[in-house]
Structure 1
């Protein structure tokens, strides 16, 4: 193998010309495939010869769940949000995405800040915890 590519010589069982046994095995496999395709056609009731993967795919589409869609409004919200993200990354104004503005009924949650008192309580608790750990040593 060189640079991610395989050569024939990297596979010891493969030579440039197949042996007689390999050819016989290939013919046997080909006949089995043809037999299975005809059996599949009789099961599916198809009179037109179609390859097995296409028939299985057609059956899977018919029996599978219905594909869910996205409303135009949902797509517009996603597009506006993506435009706003790109505007933020590029450093341009978000005026290019006016639909990204929050609706009147919804309030955007801002960043939550700790009050100085709450921060002081947390710092004191951490210091007590570390003092306890150091004392235990």
Structure 2
């Protein structure tokens, strides 16, 4: 039986919550997701957060955020993330939805130490997301 403490495997899907704000997502563009959707913030000390779809839903993830304008939720396969040299590590926490995991290569300290590399990794994730965006979008605050 799979546990939230297990390392995510390549065939799994993970969810990323994206604030419904113009800096992160612009639905009028052919490539709507910007790299900022994957930029670590100051709270991302272990890496940016994603959630394993085996343990939580897109709706629950969208509703758990604090952005007043709501969230989009996108779905990525683990192998897409690992294929660009990033890793996913489980990070279960009592104050988070089940299935919380991190991409440690995108944590706030690293963003400051090597800005160019961090931006490239953020852009690579945005590029993956924008490839077949309509199939990756699993929740929209406007639905």
What is the TM-score normalised by the length of structure 2? Answer: 0.19
In terms of Rg, which structure is larger? 1
Structure with the largest fraction of helix: 1
Structure with the largest fraction of strand: 2
What is the TM-score normalised by the length of structure 1? Answer: 0.19
